[in-house]
Amino acid sequence: MTVADRSDLASARRVVVKVGSSSISGDNAGQIAPLVDALAAAHGRGAEIVLVSSGAIATGMPYLALTNRPVDLATQQAAAAVGQNVLIYRYQVSLDRYDIVAGQVLLTAGDLENDAHRSNAQRAMERLLALRILPIVNENDTVATHEIRFGDNDRLAALVSILIHADALVLLSDVDALYTKPPAEAGAEPISRVERGDALTGVTFGGAGAVGVGTGGASTKVSAARLAADAGAGVLITSTDNVARALNGEAVGTWFVPAERVERTPAAG
């Protein structure tokens, strides 16, 4: 279906939701439950939901006695190996309240650049959704190298939305919308809607999110939003606190108007 406006999210058939590390790790680990509440509500009304979740490295850090995000690749990979297990367990425990089963999908950029790997990933995702499993996608940090990384999970979420021909993509962070300048600065104004071709002239982006855990920022979200919108998915940028309202089609966040798209053809399985 065409999700031309954020109000259409309430009836969207297939939605990718991306949540950042700082929203569901550390002191904010308790936000997993309300996030799952919102995803389960959409799932319960028949939508196919895919969650792209950051947080493996941040979740694994305490188990490695780390207080700051590691900078060397090997320690990042070790933290991800531990954290991914804990993170998916936390999601599944919360999903158990709704009798929803999670399916873990780990990808690298190389998986989506190689035609055979891409086809396999698409087929697996389609089958999971047909079985009413809720896929939880993350970058495969344990094996990814700097050369084959997506760079951030906003881009991964956009590529997943394209891979499965999602109707919409919801990018969640600590900030409730895209602003004309970093929201802490005087005069920053929220941007409600970004039309096709809008260059966002005059908009100033800050850096990454919470220090020590996140890798994305407003600029990465805008790039990801444009990528998905160009492929025909409506995109909403808002805060994790607003996820239930977002999936109910309420007037929150910043909406990127999608390009028109040709109806998708389901992958063979």
111 in any annotated domain: yes
pLDDT value of position 149: 64
First to last CA, the chain: 22
Distance (Å, whole) CA 160 – CA 18:
10
Query: Would you say the C-alpha torsion 256, 260, 266, 268 has a positive or negative sign?
Result: negative
* Tens digit of each residue's pLDDT (9 = 90 or more) over 36-62: 999 999 999 999 999 999 999 999 999
112 in any annotated domain: yes
- Asked if residue 193 has pLDDT above 60, the reply is yes
- Asked if residue 68 has pLDDT above 60, the reply is yes
pLDDT value of position 206: 64
What mean pLDDT do residues 179-197 have? 92
- Asked if residue 168 has pLDDT above 90, the reply is yes
pLDDT band at 87 (very low <50, low <70, confident <90, very high): very high
269 in any annotated domain: no
Query: What's the mean per-residue pLDDT of the chain?
Result: 89
Q: Where residue 104 sits, what CATH number does that domain have? A: 3.40.1160.10
pLDDT value of position 210: 37
Query: Which residues are annotated as part of the binding site for substrate?
Result: 54, 141, 153
Q: Which domain holds residue 66?
A: 6-256
pLDDT value of position 141: 76
245 in any annotated domain: yes
pLDDT value of position 184: 87
- Asked if residue 167 has pLDDT above 70, the reply is yes
87 in any annotated domain: yes
pLDDT value of position 146: 61
> Which range, of 173-177, 203-207, 255-259, averages the lowest pLDDT?
203-207
pLDDT band at 204 (very low <50, low <70, confident <90, very high): confident
Query: Which residues are annotated as part of the binding site for ATP?
Result: 18, 173-174
Number of domains in the chain: 1
179 in any annotated domain: yes
Contact residues for 105 (Cβ-Cβ < 8 A; gap 6+): 121, 124, 125, 128, 135, 136, 137, 138
pLDDT value of position 86: 96
Backbone φ and ψ for 138, nearest 5 degrees, come out as: -150, 160
225 in any annotated domain: yes
Query: Which residues are annotated as part of the binding site?
Result: 18, 54, 141, 153, 173-174
265 in any annotated domain: no
